[in-house]
């Protein structure tokens, strides 16, 4: 009897069933992956699936729920923005250009003489000035205190104490042949002065008898003095009331102190010392000229009530000149022998006189 044909397929091994389930799951996931590729997809972590090797059994969970894998979608790089037309990016300034500019300024504007004088001012030293015109300006020791560049003359000037004249002076540096620093106080230093005094602060400041100054500054000058204090040691400016400030400082040269005070006109009132007040008064009289003599007072005009008519004097008769009566000469008589009995008779003359009564 022939064996019957089997209508049912023989049972497949477990490994073959698991592989077929994975293939079916990959076929179903293919259309979904295409849709996801069209839409912007987010980067998803890569899923690594390991196929079961021979001799190993796949886990039961993997058979029931197959793992879905999605293909990687490449992320497109953003295109670079095109540079804007018409706008240039600023270029960084090169360091070499700045160095060159400093060198040009140092050579052209800040001269070697100005450099020597600046070092002397910082070190507190006096200098010796030797002029180009030595015959007209002999050498001298100078206490430099300020270095100034003038905008109009485009030249350097030094302000300080000239020991040759014992006064403040300005000197133009381009008129100097040499400027030599002086070691120590130097010659012609005005004394006495305290030990340790800088050599460029002796004349008019610390050398000689100190003069303590006290004054009151008005409102219109307070801000200016705060910006540019007085060129004197120990200068102080203290507000005392609204619109006024007290100024105190010390100097040794009365002329320099008076010049500084008089530049404010009526905006500064000196209180101490009295000799400074007298000095400023003398200068004010000299500015105004010699005092003129006071004119004589004019007579006061009388009022109408006081005015009286003056009586006219009577005219005096003029004296008449006295007339002198002189005797008239008588005419000569005719002499004859008849004694006038005979002969012709002359007619007599009758004289009539009218006299004023």
Question: Do 245 and 171 share a structural domain?
Answer: no
Ordered per-residue pLDDT tens for the chain, 357 residues: 455 555 555 555 555 555 566 656 656 555 555 555 555 545 444 544 454 454 444 444 444 555 555 555 555 555 555 555 554 555 554 544 444 445 444 455 688 999 999 999 999 999 999 999 988 999 999 999 999 999 999 999 999 999 999 999 999 999 999 999 998 888 878 888 888 889 988 998 988 889 999 999 988 899 989 888 888 888 999 998 888 999 999 999 999 999 999 989 889 999 999 999 999 888 888 887 765 556 667 666 666 665 666 767 777 777 777 776 667 777 666 555 555 455 555 566 777 676 666
Sheet with 268-272, edge to edge strand ranges: 236-241, 244-251, 211-218, 268-272
196/104 same-domain check: yes
Residue 278's H or E segment, with its range, is: helix 274-288
Closest CA to 260 of 223, 209, 290, 217: 217
Counting the structural domains of the chain, the total is 2
Beta bridge partners of 167: 162
Instruction: Look at residue 192 and tell me if it is in a domain.
Output: yes
Residues 6+ apart with CB under 8 A from 186: 126, 128, 141, 163, 199
Residue 37 falls inside a structural domain: no
The domain boundary residue, chosen from 201, 225, 246: 201
Residue 250 phi, psi dihedral angles, 5° rounding: -130, 140
Q: How many residues does the chain have?
A: 357
Whether 196 and 219 map to the same domain: the answer is no
What CATH number should be reported for the domain holding residue 222? 3.30.70
Q: Report yes or no on 145 lying in a domain.
A: yes
CB-based burial label for 118 (10 Å; 0-12, 13-18, 19+): middle
pLDDT at 289: 73
CA distance 210 to 199: 17
Residue 154 Rama label (left phi>0; alpha psi -120 to 50; beta): left
Within-domain flag for 134: yes
Is 102 among the domain residues? yes
Do 101 and 163 belong together in one domain?
yes
Could you give the residue ranges of the DSSP H alpha helices within 69-228?
95-108, 112-123, 219-227
Return the pLDDT at 318. Answer: 75
| Domain match, 189 and 254 both | no
Of 191, 196, 182, the C-alpha closest to 125 is 182
| Domain match, 243 and 281 both | yes
**196 in the same domain as 244:** no
Q: d(Cα 342, Cα 269) in Å, to the nearest integer?
A: 131
The residue out of 180, 201, 222 marking a domain boundary is 201
- Which DSSP string corresponds to 35-66? HHHHS-PPP-PPPP-PPPPTT-PPPHHHHHSP
| Number of other CB atoms surrounding residue 289 within 10 Å | 7
Q: Note whether residue 16 is domain-resident.
A: no
Same domain? 159 vs 216? no
> Tokens at residue 104, please?
């040009």
147 in Cβ contact with 156 (< 8 Å): yes
Q: In what order do the strands lie in the sheet with 140-150?
A: 167-172, 155-162, 140-150, 127-131, 176-181
Domain boundary among 135, 170, 201: 201
What CATH code is carried by the domain that includes residue 195?
2.30.30
**Domain residue limits at 229:** 211-286
Residues 147, 110, single domain; the answer is yes
pLDDT of 55 reads 47
Question: What's the predicted TM-score (pTM) here?
Answer: 0.50
In a 13 Å sphere around the CA of 18, the CA atoms on its Cβ side amount to 17
Alpha-carbon distance values, 287 to 273, 277, 291 (Å): 22, 15, 11
Task: Identify whether the C-beta of residue 239 lies closer than 8 Å to the C-beta of residue 216.
Answer: no
* 262 and 196 belong to one structural domain: no
Q: Is residue 124 part of a domain?
A: yes
Instruction: Answer yes or no: do 164 and 219 share one domain.
Output: no
Q: In angstroms, what is the C-alpha Rg of the chain?
A: 66
Asked whether residue 281 is domain-assigned, the answer is yes
Of 142, 135, 133, 185, the closest CA to residue 160 belongs to 142
Do residue 107 and residue 125 come from a single domain?
A: yes
Residues 185 and 196: their CA atoms lie apart, in Å, by 10
């Amino acid at each position: 009897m022939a064996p019957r044909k089997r209508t049912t397929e023989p049972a497949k091994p477990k490994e073959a069933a698991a592989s077929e389930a994975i293939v079916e799951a990959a076929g179903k996931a293919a259309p979904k992956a295409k849709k996801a590729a069209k839409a912007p997809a987010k980067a998803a972590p890569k899923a690594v699936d390991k196929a079961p090797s021979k001799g190993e059994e796949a886990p039961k969970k993997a058979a029931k729920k197959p793992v879905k894998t999605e293909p990687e979608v490449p992320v497109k790089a953003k295109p670079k923005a095109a540079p804007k037309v018409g706008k240039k990016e600023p270029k960084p300034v090169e360091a070499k250009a700045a160095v060159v500019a400093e060198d040009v300024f140092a050579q052209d504007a800040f001269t070697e003489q100005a450099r020597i004088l600046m070092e002397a001012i910082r070190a507190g030293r006096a200098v010796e000035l030797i002029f180009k015109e030595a015959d007209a300006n002999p050498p001298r020791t100078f206490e430099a205190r300020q270095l100034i560049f003038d905008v109009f003359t485009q030249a350097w000037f030094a302000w300080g104490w000239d020991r040759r004249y014992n006064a403040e002076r300005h000197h133009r540096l381009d008129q100097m042949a040499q400027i030599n620093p002086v070691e120590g106080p130097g010659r012609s230093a005005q004394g006495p002065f305290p030990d340790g005094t800088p050599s460029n602060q002796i004349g008019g400041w610390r050398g000689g008898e100190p003069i303590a100054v006290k004054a009151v500054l008005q409102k219109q000058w307070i801000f200016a003095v705060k910006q540019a204090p007085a060129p004197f040691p120990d200068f102080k400016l203290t507000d005392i009331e609204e619109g006024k400030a007290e100024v105190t400082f010390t100097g040794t040269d009365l002329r320099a102190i008076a010049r500084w005070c008089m530049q404010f006109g009526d905006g500064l009132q000196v209180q101490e010392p009295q000799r400074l007040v007298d000095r400023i008064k003398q200068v004010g009289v000299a500015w105004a000229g010699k005092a003129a003599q006071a004119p004589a007072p004019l007579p006061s005009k009388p009022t109408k009530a006081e005015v009286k008519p003056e009586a006219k004097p009577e005219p005096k008769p003029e004296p008449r000149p006295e007339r002198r009566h002189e005797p008239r000469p008588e005419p000569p008589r005719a002499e004859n022998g008849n004694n006038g009995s005979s002969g012709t008779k002359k007619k007599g003359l009758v004289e009539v006189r009218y006299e004023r009564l």
